[in-house]
Amino acid sequence: MGEWGFLGGLFDSLQAHSPMLGRFWLLIMLVFRILILGTVASDLFEDEQEEFACNTLQPGCKQVCYDMAFPISQYRFWVFHIVLIATPSLLFLMYAMHHDNKRKNTSKVHQSDSSDSREDLHFRRFYVVNVAFRILAEVGFLVGQWYLYGFKVEAQFPCNRFPCPYTVDCFTSRPAEKTVFLCFYFVVGVIAAISSCAELLYGSMKWITVKTFLLSLLSACVSYLFKSALSNWKSVCFCLSKPPPSSDSVFFSVPLHTSLCLLLNPGRPRCRSLSQRKCRSSVFSDSL
């Protein structure tokens, strides 16, 4: 139980850096997984291979039939599940502790608000990535548990693998109790996955809000520049759309480089004065 206590202490430190939904997932992890698996499941599955019996004395038949019935021990599968699920959260805990130490060291030094907001954005982004990896692991292990064990531990397994001389019947110990525990652990996994999805949605909403503000600001700037360029382009089109004067009159049309200058640099004084001069020349030639 020493390793479970160490892992529980790390999760206890993690709850200080998690929102409410993250703490709910930690509650599921500590109580319904680590505590149950470390107390109840260890006694339930410790003798599963010793109590697995087949109605034959052929050497090696019992071992291959047990491997067919349980490709991976359920207890070891769930321990590996907890370790893999906890890895992204522990990496986030290391980053959070580094983030806190960095803030404490720079608290005495003047720091701008933009730097603080950038650090918070990086912190939130890392947290969202952590929850996303957790969801992938939760769903992957749920599918793996369903594929390997289903929802029921059979009391009897027919086996015809070599070196069994014929189809033998093998029997597991405490199948009803293991079935209840199998379904319980699957339901806990579903609840944990739903909680993680809600946590990801909650965490990404804040991140999307910041990104939406920046995108709206950029869109407003682009819209302003486009409208300004369009208004200047209309004046150029007005000059170009005037009917050509007689051949004996002097006509100055707006050249291509002037039009491009107005379109790309609508606020540039040289482009504006150049277009006005060309337009005045065109109007003057028409009046003649």
Looking at the structure, tell me whether residues 141 and 254 fall in a common domain: no
Q: Which two tokens stand for residue 170?
A: 């093998």
- Position with higher pLDDT, 217 vs 97: 97
CATH number where 160 lies: 1.20.1440.80
H or E element in which residue 52 lies: none
- Position with higher pLDDT, 104 vs 52: 52
Looking at the structure, tell me whether residues 190 and 276 fall in a common domain: no
Rounded to 5 degrees, what angle do the CA atoms 37, 52, 143 make? Answer: 50
Main-chain phi, psi angles of 205, to 5 degrees? -65, -40
Looking at the structure, tell me whether residues 158 and 275 fall in a common domain: no
Looking at the structure, tell me whether residues 207 and 256 fall in a common domain: no
> What local confidence, expressed as pLDDT, does residue 26 receive?
82
Report whether 228 contacts 267 (CB < 8 A). Answer: yes
Report helix, strand or coil for 159: strand
Residue 74 has pLDDT above 90, yes or no: no
Q: Does a structural domain hold residue 235?
A: no
Weakest-pLDDT range from 36-40, 54-58, 167-171, 276-280: 276-280
Looking at the structure, tell me whether residues 46 and 82 fall in a common domain: yes
Looking at the structure, tell me whether residues 7 and 87 fall in a common domain: yes
Percent of the chain scored above 70 by pLDDT? 56
**What is the mean predicted confidence (pLDDT) over 112-137?**
75
Rounded to two decimals, the pTM is: 0.62
Which range, 14-18, 87-91, 196-200, 214-218, has the best average confidence (pLDDT)? 196-200
Q: 170 pairs with which residues across the strands?
A: 54, 157
243 falls in which pLDDT band (50, 70, 90)?
A: very low
Looking at the structure, tell me whether residues 153 and 268 fall in a common domain: no
Q: Tell me which DSSP letter residue 72 carries.
A: S
Looking at the structure, tell me whether residues 278 and 207 fall in a common domain: no
As a whole number, the mean pLDDT across the chain is 72
Looking at the structure, tell me whether residues 45 and 98 fall in a common domain: yes
Query: Could you report the per-residue pLDDT of 140-164, keeping only the tens digit for each?
Result: 999 999 998 888 888 888 888 888 8
Weakest-pLDDT range from 39-43, 91-95, 260-264: 260-264
Pick from 220, 250, 273: which residue ends a domain?
220
Can you give the residue range of the structural domain that contains 276? 242-287
Q: Does a structural domain hold residue 163?
A: yes
Q: Name which of 185, 178, 181, 200 is nearest 28 in CA terms.
A: 185
